[in-house]
Amino acid sequence: MKIEHIRNFCIIAHVDHGKSTLADRLLELTNTVSERDMQEQLLDSMALERERGVTIKASAVRMKYDARDGQTYIINLIDTPGHVDFTYEVSRALQACEGAILVVDASQGIEAQTLSNVYLALEQDLELLPVINKIDLAAAQPEEVANDVKELLGTPVEEMPRISAKNGLGISDLLDKVIADVPPPSTDQAEKLRALVFDSHYDAYKGVIAYVRVVDGNINTRGLLKLFATGARFEPVEIGVFDPVMRATGELGAGEVGYIATGLKSVQECRVGDTITLAKNGAGQALPGYEQVKPMVFAGIYPTNNEDYADLRDALEKLQLNDASLVYQPETSQALNFGFRVGFLGLFHMEIIQERLEREYDLDILATAPSVEYRVLQRDGNTLSIDSPALLPDEGTIDEIHEPWMKIQIYVPQTYIGPVMDLTLNKRGLYETTEYLDASRVILHFAIPLSEIIIDFYDKLKSVTQGYASLDYQFYEYRAGDLVKVEVLVNEDSVDALAMICHREDAYHRGQRLVSRLKALIPRQMFAVPVQAAIGKRVISRANVKALRKDVLAKCYGGDVTRKKKLLERQKKGKKRMKMIGSVEVPQEAFMALLSLDE
């Protein structure tokens, strides 16, 4: 196939604006999938993706289309995740394309990830084709939404196709517009082989399958290849294309999108954004933009039954084979025994991994409250990175604690500016600017600590705006803060899994609320159990779980009062001994109490 007859494009949109449904209609129109094999959200292969209606893993498909000009074109579609946690993967997928269809819901208009993905596409210098979807809905306002998009991109209103991906309206015209407007791939004939890895997954028989876009040169199964960033070398097991299942072709030319079965045993060796070239006499320079993805949110994951520890380790290993951004290491807690400290890209990523562990591997797990990575500057000049409050060194050795801050953009109708301001400023957010999208909607820009938004910020935002707000965020910088570790002591023993790092101003209130919750949750013993919150050696809050009292005088009737005193004294000594050797079990609900301290 001539390179002039190849088109590479992706579909970008906010969550639930119809990306996957549009991809289904394109597959039907080009007869890539037979009517018998067709199903909704065909490119979303995970049960979880279908259930939640979100794309978690990028996928690619090759379609053949006979255009109105009489030519046959090869069209490569890359379906990208829509959630903000996977922004880096989206940016690599965009780098593999020349064009992007921007899908905007006719009833909801421009939202957070719509704008975020537009900026990503413009950074990669892609041809943007805005499309107004869901025009068949009763609440659709295609003309108003088209005017909003015109103000954003400058595209004339009449040039935006109005489609319904669900009913198939306008899909054929859209495909012809893609062929007319999206430029064919360009290549440097003098450059040696360079192929961009935009995604990968693990196959038990073929090893790591790298999803690639060949930028320069061509690939066949005869040469030894290498990866620039990791230095891994391999001989391809299989080379082919997605239509939409993997079909071996033996080679890929410049401008084409396909896969390489590398035979490598770990996705860590073949990371998203890396460049594949020839091991001998290969290209001298990698394709730009490669970054190693770093987790932003950390949580402890423990099996509720300690016998399942080995099963949990195996499950995390298998998940890591397909997800290079997932990192974990063994961790021991006094309260929860053996488990793992796991790093995630964000809260949605954490939710997905948790659900997959429970559903796909049938594990009963307990996740501690999520925390972020802090940088601790010690008085001796050393710098520590810690992702668990339990690892924070003694207060006397610390000079400064730096925490990650995020830049957030909140898209909201003007009527909700006040509640959003209150919520964000209460979470230590700093207001920056207000940007007006139109007469009724604004974008509020804030800087806010990541630790304040990872637990319940999004839920509260939706609550105060009656579901109208949408949120986008990016990492900003590390800033020094007046942070302290609040420890929890149950029966004078520190419970490391309940420790938290928070701002000194909030420490007293959060400690008090947590102690009150624990007092209600910890079961009563035969002796009084003190529950304390402390900063260093100073106790800031205390409550006692009252003792269960056995009535030892029940059978003692009549006789001298000294008999009763003797029995009560014996009970007192027994309780004292019991308290010295007794242990208090902290229930699972206590760890969940950390997630709702601000309510």
Tokens at residue 72, please? 């046959």
Amino acid code (one letter) for 52: R
Tokens at residue 358, please? 């429970």
- With bands split at pLDDT 50, 70 and 90, how would you rate the model's confidence at 522? confident
3-state secondary structure 113-147: HHHHHHHHHHHCCCEEEEEEECCCCCCCCHHHHHH
Report the chain's mean pLDDT, rounded to a whole number.
Answer: 82
Is residue 215 within 8 A of residue 97, CB to CB? The reply is no
- Tell me which H or E stretch contains 21: helix 19-29
Give mean pLDDT, residues 354-375. 86
Rounded CA separation 460/126 (Å): 36
N- to C-terminal Cα distance for the chain?
61
Query: Lowest-pLDDT range, 285-294, 421-430, 455-464, 548-557?
Result: 548-557
596 has a pLDDT exceeding 70:
no
Give mean pLDDT, residues 152-174. 85
**111: which residues sit within 8 A by CB, 6+ positions away?**
14, 17, 105, 411, 470
301 has a pLDDT exceeding 80:
yes
Bridge partners of 212?
Answer: 197, 258
pLDDT value, residue 50: 47
- With bands split at pLDDT 50, 70 and 90, how would you rate the model's confidence at 25? confident
Q: What is the pLDDT of residues 223-235, one digit of tens each?
A: 888 888 888 888 8
- The backbone torsions φ and ψ at residue 537, rounded to the nearest 5 degrees and listed phi first, read -95, -5
- The backbone torsions φ and ψ at residue 340, rounded to the nearest 5 degrees and listed phi first, read -135, 145
Q: Which DSSP category does 206 fall into?
A: T
Helical residues (DSSP H) of 390-521, grouped into ranges? 417-426, 450-453, 457-464, 504-521
Q: How many Cβ atoms are within 10 Å of 10's Cβ, its own excluded?
A: 26
Quote the percentage of the chain above a pLDDT of 70: 89
Rounded CA separation 522/422 (Å): 34
pLDDT value, residue 554: 65
Is residue 24 within 8 A of residue 42, CB to CB? The reply is yes
**31: which residues sit within 8 A by CB, 6+ positions away?**
none
Q: What is the pLDDT of residues 33-92, one digit of tens each?
A: 665 555 554 454 455 544 555 555 557 888 888 877 778 888 888 877 766 667 777 777
Q: What is the pLDDT of residues 541-565, one digit of tens each?
A: 999 888 777 776 767 777 777 877 8
Task: Specify the pTM.
Answer: 0.73
Rounded CA separation 88/548 (Å): 56
Tokens at residue 34, please? 């037979």
**317: which residues sit within 8 A by CB, 6+ positions away?**
none
- The backbone torsions φ and ψ at residue 131, rounded to the nearest 5 degrees and listed phi first, read -135, 135
142 has a pLDDT exceeding 70:
yes
Rounded CA separation 556/573 (Å): 19
8 has a pLDDT exceeding 50:
yes
Give mean pLDDT, residues 93-119. 82
Q: What is the pLDDT of residues 492-520, one digit of tens each?
A: 888 887 888 888 888 898 889 888 888 88
Bridge partners of 7?
Answer: 75
Rounded CA separation 572/574 (Å): 5
Q: Which DSSP category does 387 fall into?
A: S
- Residue labelled with tokens 């803060």: 481
3-class SS at 253? Answer: coil
Cα→Cα distances 56→65, 175, 277, 300, 358, Å: 27, 25, 28, 22, 17
273 has a pLDDT exceeding 80:
yes
In terms of average pLDDT, the best of 114-118, 240-244, 512-516, 572-576 is: 512-516
Query: Lowest-pLDDT range, 76-90, 299-313, 530-544?
Result: 76-90
Q: What is the pLDDT of residues 392-429, one digit of tens each?
A: 888 888 889 999 999 998 888 888 899 999 999 999 99
Amino acid code (one letter) for 480: A
Quote the percentage of the chain above a pLDDT of 90: 9
- With bands split at pLDDT 50, 70 and 90, how would you rate the model's confidence at 449? very high
- Residue labelled with tokens 């999803």: 211
Torsion sign (Cα): 169, 173, 176, 177: negative
Cβ contacts of 285-290, under 8 Å, gap ≥ 24:
286/194, 286/228, 286/229, 287/95, 287/194, 287/196, 287/215, 289/91, 289/92, 289/95, 290/228, 290/229
Rounded CA separation 124/91 (Å): 8
Rounded CA separation 126/3 (Å): 18
368 has a pLDDT exceeding 50:
yes
598 has a pLDDT exceeding 80:
no
